[in-house]
A and B are shown apart, each in its own frame.
Chain A
Amino acid sequence: MAENTEWKDVLVFIEVSDGKPQEVGWELLGQATKLAGKLGQKVKALIIGKDVEKYAQEAVSYGADTVYVVDDPSYETYVTRTYCKAFCDVVTKHKPTIVLIGATPLGRDLSGAVGTILQAGLTADCTGLDIDDKTLKLLSTRPTFGGNIMATIFCQKGQPQMSTVRPKVMKKGTPDPARKGEIIKENIPVDPKDLTVKVLDFIPDKAGAVEIEHAKIIVAGGKGVNSPEGFEQLKKLADLLGGEVAGSRPMVEAGLLTSERQVGQTGKTVCPRVFIAVGISGAIQHLVGMQNSDVIISINSDPNAPIFKVSTVSIVEKWQSAIPKLIEQLEARIH
């Protein structure tokens, strides 16, 4: 099996979009360090874009031993074909056995193309990664059937073993700015023939747009709240804690929240330190979006609410009485 001795190391794609590296890249470097440790191999990173070399040391600080940088003005905007070609060139040249990509819109667009060109096994949107003790193959675990079932997938043949990984699932490590690594510039010119897709414009979401996926604390409301007055109370609680308000899909459909604040299968997956669920019963579609939060506090008047089963602590009480008490007592304890 010559191929197995040739392909080694764990490569992480560092996505630079909206002018900065995406957090998921750092999260994956942390996980890659664990996987590479089990294999006795190295961690590599790949950065593609314009003026991106400056991020290479940051990748080192999060655990990369080697960083490949494809830095050229023609990579300023993401185009599937050009990024795919650069990506495949680097993989073919350096032969990493594992390739990890954040399961962002860009990452999922790119990985499908890269996997096809490389004829590689690709597992989408994973929430767990490990190494098989016996075969030393990558084991990628992912939710399927809407999160009802988990599947562990491995590559029975071919190289590399690719996975896209859901953001905010792996915890990012503490960066070490003094850490030393090798930075290698890869010169991969863009073929103008590959530029048939042109980005004409980008309309960013309005300034100050909320990113609940980055919030440390989330106060979320569900059908049990279902009123503007209720969400005013939640906002007051969130402000007190320096958190963001979010909610379940019915609250977005009722017009009480904008869709970027929706948590769940058809909304966002969040992993804050503290998630306070108010009047949320806990349908599986909602749970898949928040059950990895460190601390979950649930408030629901229904003693049988399924959300209690995933909560650190549950308060069986109406929000109308529980939230004011919570605000009052927290104020006293914080200040």
Chain B
Amino acid sequence: MHIAVLIKQVPDTQEVKIDPEKNTIVRAGVESIVNPFDMNAVELALQLVEKHGGEVSVITMGPPQAEAALKETLAMGVTRVLLITDRKFAAADTLATSYTLAKAIEKLSAESGNVDLIICGKQAVDGDTAQTGPGVATRLNFDQATYVTTVDKIDIESKKIVVKRRLAKGVEIVEASLPALITVEKDINEPRYASLPGLVKAERDKIAWWDAAYIGADDDHIGFKGSPTWVKKIFTPPPREGGPELSGESAVKEALDLVFENKHFKEAVLGEEGA
């Protein structure tokens, strides 16, 4: 079985700030990590090949420094890693990104054997869109199952996979046909630590760089040009106006006096519609 895992290098989200002069995101000095959900995707791929045999290929689209993210997965024990990198890919939205990744999967299938299963994290913590996985599946016409919490069964002979999906009000059990793409939830597993042989491999292996021409990507569909959505502006959310801070013996009473003057509070607590 050949499993491809799509990962993303993301900034450590809590530390990201806006440069107030240039109105751009300040990335300098912000540590990069592998998107946490993608670590679960890598772990799942490793567990599945340990059980069923096969290879794990990890792909990321990003700048040269995204090699660091790929090395982390090499150290966990994956078979090969690929950096999809080209200046032309810059400023890609989810449509352009999913096109690029789909082209990379096609190239990978041609070079290293058909990909049977693609695993992604359910979303990246920087953008939180959860759109790239479904986009790749749709491009490749793969079956898709999002928000997967368990892989119950894979049958390589009959090309079937059975998974549990976390939905708003319950768990759905679905069967899909391979090749398929699944996106995984955080609680599907606990990502392993790097092994010593893995660390050696990560240090020694030269990481393959694939550019737009190599994967056969059409310039009109990648990067800024291939992205219908553009950012108009970014801003720090306006702070909500804080109300009075009350202390002392009668703080609770004063607070209640205040909120009982509030329309929303009265409606909710006393059920006075239109109060």
Residues of chain B having any CB pair with chain A under 8 Å? 11, 13-14, 16-18, 25, 93-95, 98, 125-135, 137-139, 143-147, 162, 165-177, 186, 227-237, 239-240, 242-247, 251-253, 255-256, 258-260, 262, 264-265, 267-270
Contacts and interface: CB of A to CB of B under 8 A. Distances in A.
Q: Lowest 10 A-B CB distances belong to which pairs?
A: A112-B134, A121-B228, A273-B268, A124-B129, A294-B264, A316-B247, A204-B170, A121-B229, A146-B13, A116-B138
B251 A146 contact: no
B128 A125 contact: yes
B25 A149 contact: yes
Nearest to B99: A116
A178 interface: no
Given A148-B236, A196-B176, A273-B267, 13 more contacts: A80-B144, A112-B132, A113-B137, A117-B138, A122-B94, A122-B131, A155-B230, A197-B176, A200-B162, A274-B259, A274-B264, A309-B239, A316-B247
A303 interface: yes
Contact of A198 (B25, B125, B168, B174): B174
A315 B259 CA distance: 12
Interface stretch (A32-40, A180-188, A220-228, A325-333): A325-333
Contact of A115 (B131, B146, B235, B268): B131
A316 B255 contact: no
A108 B269 contact: no
A116 B229 contact: no
A247 B135 CA distance: 34
A116 B95 CA distance: 6
Contacts of A326: 252, 256
21 contacts: A17-B167, A108-B130, A112-B131, A120-B228, A124-B129, A143-B128, A148-B13, A148-B17, A148-B237, A149-B235, A152-B233, A155-B230, A196-B143, A197-B144, A211-B169, A273-B265, A310-B242, A313-B243, A314-B242, A315-B251, A326-B256
B19 to A, nearest CB: 11
Interface of A: 17-18, 80-81, 84, 104-106, 108-109, 111-113, 115-117, 119-125, 139, 143-158, 196-205, 209, 211, 216-217, 241, 266, 272-274, 284, 291, 294-295, 297, 303, 308-317, 322, 325-326, 329-330, 333-334
Contacts of A274: 259, 264-265, 268-269
Contact of B229 (A144, A147, A154, A316): A154
Given A119-B95, A144-B127, A310-B242, A113 B134 contact: yes
Contacts of B25: 145, 149
B138 A150 contact: no
B163 to A, nearest CB: 10
Contact of B242 (A106, A311, A317): A311
B180 to A, nearest CB: 8
B102 to A, nearest CB: 9
B171 A149 contact: no
B168 A330 contact: no
Looking at chain B's contact residues, is the secondary structure mostly helix, strand, loop, or mixed?
Answer: mixed
Given A80-B144, A145-B13, A312-B243, A151 B233 contact: yes
Given A312-B259, A317-B252, A325-B252, A106 B167 contact: yes
Contacts of B129: 124-125
Contact of A84 (B128, B138, B232, B259): B138
Pick from A17, A155, A312 the residue with the most CB of B within 10 Å.
Answer: A312
A218 to B, nearest CB: 10
Given A84-B138, A148-B14, A122 B240 contact: no
Nearest to A330: B256
A116 B167 contact: no
Contact of A313 (B147, B230, B235, B258): B258
Contacts of B227: 121
B138 A329 contact: no
A151 B236 CA distance: 9
B232 A295 contact: no
A216 B272 CA distance: 13
A203 B243 CA distance: 44
Contacts of A122: 94-95, 131, 228-229
